[in-house]
A and B are shown apart, each in its own frame.
Chain A
Amino acid sequence: GDSVTQMEGPVTLSEEAFLTINCTYTATGYPSLFWYVQYPGEGLQLLLKATKADDKGSNKGFEATYRKETTSFHLEKGSVQVSDSAVYFCALSAGRGGGSNYKLTFGKGTLLTVNP
């Protein structure tokens, strides 16, 4: 079945450091890939997504590129801020339709803490 493996946390960085959170996936066909973010005490919000190979999703300074050859979708940011402290989830949607319309398969999440 489909699965997502992401870097175990927690990750602790100083402000303005470079961030990478690794994510690899296993899926049949051509899934869409997502990064969601969960700020403390809140639900998940979509951060960025990519729907086909070589697409780059970007938002709020974060980027991730859909790499089919390595089945990866690593999240990067060049200079993190304290306000980026949150849990980050990588997810895929196989979009098989029918009764399983666009279920998401999530990784376990990576807690990022950014210190001033």
Chain B
Amino acid sequence: DVKVTQSSRYLVKRTGEKVFLECVQDMDHENMFWYRQDPGLGLRLIYFSYDVKMKEKGDIPEGYSVSREKKERFSLILESASTNQTSMYLCASSPIPNTRNQETQYFGPGTRLLVL
């Protein structure tokens, strides 16, 4: 089974802090994604990466950056946390094209971040 793990289930930070959210997958997937989930808004894509050191902006990248130094690890960085970044953050991964389940994304359990 594919396993996607996230470094924390719950996190409390102060406004202005730099926050790192880590995601690791164990299936050698090429693609990795970061979403935030908010009530009434569903899932919104922040950033994604289709290869090591490659990244692309999603729909709401402002205030976030990402890092993918190794294939299995994709980090989301909040450079200076703000209260409007309080949310549930979900990481996902998917395999390369032309493989079985190529379009299926596998999700981690989520990190609930509270910024005070």
Q: What is the interface of chain A, defined by CB distance below 8 A to chain B? A: 32, 34, 36, 41-46, 49, 51, 89, 93, 95, 97, 99-104, 106-109
B107 touches A45 (CB 8 A): yes
Q: What is the interface of chain B, defined by CB distance below 8 A to chain A? A: 4, 30-31, 33, 40-43, 45, 48, 50, 54, 56, 58, 90, 92, 94, 96-97, 102-110
For the complex formed, measure the closest distance between the CB of A105 and the CB atoms of chain B, giving whole angstroms: 8
CA distance A34 to B101 in the complex (A): 12
A44: contacting residue among B40, B54, B107, CB under 8 A: B107
A107 touches B42 (CB 8 A): yes
Can you identify 15 A-B contacts, CB atoms within 8 angstroms? A42-B109, A43-B109, A43-B110, A44-B43, A45-B107, A49-B103, A93-B103, A97-B97, A99-B54, A99-B56, A100-B56, A101-B30, A102-B102, A103-B33, A104-B33
A104 touches B105 (CB 8 A): yes
New contact pairs (16) apart from A95-B103, A100-B56, CB-CB < 8 Å: A36-B107, A43-B4, A43-B107, A43-B108, A43-B110, A44-B90, A46-B104, A46-B106, A49-B103, A101-B94, A101-B97, A102-B97, A102-B103, A104-B33, A106-B42, A107-B42
B9: nearest chain-A partner, CB-CB: A41
A49 touches B104 (CB 8 A): yes
CA distance A34 to B31 in the complex (A): 18
A102 touches B94 (CB 8 A): yes
CA distance A106 to B41 in the complex (A): 10
